[in-house]
């Protein structure tokens, strides 16, 4: 039997890992299956643009993986059983199981409601394509009515900043406010903070600093201290969280549910499991945990690819550098900030602003899409064979769907 590699999730990290494993391992003795809940590749870092009204490409995963030999299973992951080495899935046919010898866990993250009442019922988000489209339709409706409407973006992280500025620029008929728990741009250098404030002023984004939201309602937001803000659309961007599947499976996880791995992205408790992207907790070269973002997907994905190929083919495993050099933030379509970071993850005084920063950010986004949607580029004439007989679990690669 072939060695079965199963990749859970086809976001930036999962699609990249699956495609590159298919490039580097021989299909003669390895089989790769990707399990994903939706049929499209979602450019998550551009969903704020989708909500603002832009058309954002969403390639079909069947096209992304065409010619790779990868098998795509459209289903939602419901559980992982590391003892039996199986993954339980649910789909339109009722579901079933997918067996694995090596598992790559790349299920990503979702919006964290921070236990604030009303977020799930009343807030919008840009963490998934359906929710971004839902926000887009709602904003379309606000623009059609007299007087427009007021949009509150809660969260002053990079997602919140990009969402507020994108909406303000693309939908000038709406009033946009950004709610920050502390000082706006606290993670930026002094010069970059000044640039950000000027951009918000230019775009008409009202900034409410030192504001903590205690509850979200249908047409208003209640804040600490008794302040009540009217809102026709509350967009929640106050952090991300991972699902409970890894913890429920008995994998060693952090308090927030991310899988604890060694330097090669291998689970410290279950060596046949690798974790990448937002699902993983790993220390960077500066001794600090990598954050949840697209950059981490690239770093952790490359390391996992090298480790899996190395262990299966008996080759040396190289360590990929896990260091950030900058954060790229878009401020609408014509402005941005490129904030440089030192080896200790501290911001440098130096930053780049304006159109040059925009071009860098757009290059990152294009590269992320290209890297995942062209997994057969430079496909080697001969892919590496396994050095030992492929291991296989007793369960078949897939059990029939159950009613």
CATH number for the domain that contains residue 252: 3.50.50.60
My answer on whether 216 and 276 are in the same domain is no
- Asked, for residue 249, whether it belongs to a domain, the answer is yes
Residue 207 has φ and ψ, to the nearest 5°, of: -110, 125
Q: Let me know: does 321 contact 292? Beta carbons within 8 Å.
A: no
- Asked, for residue 396, whether it belongs to a domain, the answer is no
Using DSSP's 3-state secondary structure scheme, residue 389 falls into: coil
Proportion of the chain above pLDDT 90, given as a percent: 73
- Pick from 185, 212, 236: which residue ends a domain? 236
My answer on whether 150 and 81 are in the same domain is no
Whole-model pTM: value is 0.90
My answer on whether 87 and 46 are in the same domain is yes
My answer on whether 96 and 138 are in the same domain is no
Domains: count for the chain? 2
CA angle 142, 146, 151 (to 5 degrees): 35
Q: For residue 97, what is the enclosing H or E element? A: strand 96-99
Average pLDDT along the chain: 90
- Asked, for residue 389, whether it belongs to a domain, the answer is no
My answer on whether 224 and 124 are in the same domain is yes
Give the domain range for residue 88: 3-109+242-323+367-373
DSSP letter string over 119-162?
A: HHHH-B-SSSHHHHHHHHHHHHHHHHSTT--EEEEE--SHHHHH
My answer on whether 53 and 138 are in the same domain is no
- Tell me the pLDDT tens digit for each residue of 260-281: 999 999 999 999 999 999 999 9
- Tell me the pLDDT tens digit for each residue of 11-60: 999 999 999 999 899 999 999 999 999 999 999 989 999 999 999 989 99
My answer on whether 92 and 26 are in the same domain is yes
Using DSSP's 3-state secondary structure scheme, residue 104 falls into: strand
Q: Let me know: does 303 contact 319? Beta carbons within 8 Å.
A: yes
pLDDT band at 122 (very low <50, low <70, confident <90, very high): very high
């Amino acid at each position: 039997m072939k060695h079965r590699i199963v990749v859970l999730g086809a976001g930036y990290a999962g699609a990249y890992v699956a495609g590159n494993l298919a490039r580097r391992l021989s299909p003669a003795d390895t089989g790769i299956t990707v399990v994903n809940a939706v049929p499209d590749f979602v450019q998550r870092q551009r969903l704020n643009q989708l909500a603002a009204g832009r058309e954002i490409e969403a390639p079909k995963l069947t096209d992304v993986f065409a010619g790779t030999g990868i098998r795509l299973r459209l289903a939602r992951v419901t559980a992982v059983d590391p003892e039996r080495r199986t993954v339980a899935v649910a789909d339109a046919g009722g579901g079933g199981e997918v067996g694995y010898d090596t598992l790559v866990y790349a299920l990503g993250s979702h919006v964290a409601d921070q236990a604030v009442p009303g977020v799930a019922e009343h807030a919008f988000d840009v963490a998934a394509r359906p929710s971004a489209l839902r926000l887009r339709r709602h904003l379309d409706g606000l623009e059609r009515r007299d007087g427009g409407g007021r949009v509150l973006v809660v969260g002053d992280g990079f997602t919140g900043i990009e969402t507020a500025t994108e909406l303000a620029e693309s939908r000038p008929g709406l009033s946009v406010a950004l709610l920050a728990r502390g000082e706006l741009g606290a993670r930026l250098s002094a010069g970059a903070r000044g640039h950000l404030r000027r951009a918000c002023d230019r775009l008409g984004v009202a900034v409410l600093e030192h504001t903590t939201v205690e509850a979200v309602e249908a047409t208003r937001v209640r804040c600490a201290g008794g302040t009540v803000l009217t809102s026709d659309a509350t967009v929640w961007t106050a952090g991300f969280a991972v699902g409970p599947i890894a913890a429920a499976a008995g994998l060693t996880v952090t308090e927030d549910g991310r899988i604890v791995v060694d330097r090669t992205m291998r689970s410290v408790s279950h060596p046949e499991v690798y974790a990448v992207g937002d699902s993983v907790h790993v220390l960077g070269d500066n001794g600090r945990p990598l954050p949840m973002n697209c950059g981490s997907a690239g770093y952790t994905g490359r390391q996992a690819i090298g480790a899996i190929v190395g262990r299966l083919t008996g080759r040396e495993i190289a360590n990929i550098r896990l260091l950030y050099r900058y954060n790229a933030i878009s401020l609408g379509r014509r402005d941005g900030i490129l904030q440089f970071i030192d080896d200790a993850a501290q911001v440098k005084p130096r930053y780049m602003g304006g159109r040059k920063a925009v071009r860098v950010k757009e290059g990152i986004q294009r590269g992320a899409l290209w890297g995942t949607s062209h997994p057969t580029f430079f496909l080697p004439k001969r892919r590496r064979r396994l050095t030992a007989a492929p291991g296989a679990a007793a369960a078949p690669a897939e059990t029939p769907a159950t009613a």
